[in-house]
Amino acid sequence: MWIQQHLPCAISANTVGFRKHLVYKDVVSWNSMVSGYSRTGDVEKALRLFQEMLERNQTSWNAMISGYVECGKLDLARSFYNSMPQRNNISCIMMIGGYSKCGDIVSARKLFDEMGEKDHLLYNAMIACYAKNSRPKEALDLFDEMLQPSVDVQADKMTLATVISACSQLGDLSFGSSIHELYMNQMGITMDDHLCTALIDLYAKCGSIDKAFKLFHKLHKKDVVAYTAMILGCGINGKEQIAIKLFDETMESKIRPNLVSFSGLLTALSHVGMVEESSQCFNSMKRYGLVPIPDHYSLMVEILGRAGQLEEAHNLIKNIALNWKLIAAGMGHFLLIYTRVLVGGRMLRG
């Protein structure tokens, strides 16, 4: 529609005059304006238009819910959701997505259960909510429910990608590979890059590097997620040189690495004892606008400790703003030993 294509111009030019013309337009035109303001983050203007509407439909209400969800105002989004004359699955999906972002799984599941007839998109939203919030078992349980004859909802590529991600979190290679080798064929679901990348992550984390590589080479476009899955998988499964080579490929392809990419590379460098390269890698994170998290500090302390550079390891911990106990939790075994032997409780007092 013209309104959707030229919305920024309409907003910045003469919105008042434009709205006068909308008085005589149908609800679709009004919805386009409300949705446009919501998408650009101007929920207050969207609300004013919404209040002026003489006629509203589900799309009108969903536009407001979407706007409040995107700006993190879930209470207001929920207020609109509760006030809707008639809700649909799209309304519920948006609310579940909002609750998922803030980790409120209980509220998300309550809304899911309240819906009557559920389609695969609604199931996808709730399964993804579980998977993204480190509740993979619940994700798989809901997937199993979805396939029951009494429910009989057809899974799609997005469902399977999320379920495979849950399997990856659990280290459940058996169930994850059965989706790849059996379920996809039975249901006639073809592979795409998103689904392929989820399988790469599963196989790489579970030690099936050859299968991961086979799929990796079949990707039409290799993005940072695919490279990161391979780098981390190789790093934790004794394929250090391959992990380093893949990271170099990422740089050569001008793909910006993410935090997990650096975790994988540091893991690989740790196993081969490349201390100087590890320090360069760690320090280069700032170049990509990345702030190291406890996992990266833990790996660096382990690398320095294994090389006998205990004072350097201590200085790294002492000079960071993070609480050292977070690092100890992420690091575990080595750092606790290092703390007892080298500093004798100095960090606990500091």
Per-residue pLDDT, 298: 86
Q: Following CA atoms 257, 261, 263, 265 in sequence, which dihedral angle do they give, to the nearest 10 degrees? A: -100
In a domain, 47, yes or no: yes
Whether the CB-CB separation of 327 and 317 falls below 8 Å is answered with: yes
Q: Answer yes or no: is 324 within a domain.
A: no
Q: Is residue 189 part of a domain?
A: no
247 in any annotated domain: no
Q: What is the pLDDT of residue 317?
A: 76
Q: What is the span of the domain harbouring residue 84?
A: 1-111+121-130
CA nearest to 136, candidates 171, 103, 167: 167
Q: Could you tell me the pTM of the whole model?
A: 0.79
pLDDT of residue 25: 61
Supply the mean pLDDT for the chain. Answer: 85
Which residue has tokens 């992990």? 243
Number of other residues whose CB lies within 10 A of the CB of residue 150: 5
Structural domain count of the chain: 1
Task: Let me know if residue 332 belongs to a domain.
Answer: no
Query: Is the model's pLDDT at 344 over the cut of 60?
Result: no
Judge whether 223 lies within some domain: no
Q: What is the pLDDT of residues 70-92, one digit of tens each?
A: 999 999 999 999 999 999 999 99
Would you say residue 44 lies in a domain? yes
pLDDT, tens digit (0-9, with 9 covering 90-100), for 196-244: 999 999 999 999 999 999 999 999 999 999 999 999 999 889 898 999 9
Residue 295 — very low, low, confident or very high, per pLDDT cuts 50/70/90? Answer: confident
* Pair 298, 292: CB distance under 8 Å: no
pLDDT of residue 156: 93
Rounded Cα distance between 198 and 195, Å, is 5
Give the CATH number of the domain where residue 15 resides: 1.25.40.10
Predicted local distance difference test score (pLDDT) of residue 109: 97
Whether 157 maps to a domain, the answer reads: no
Of 100, 43, 34, 96, nearest to 68 (Cα)?
43
181 or 60, which is more confident: 60
Token pair listed for 225: 């997620």
The dihedrals phi and psi of 337, each to the nearest 5 degrees, come to: -65, -45
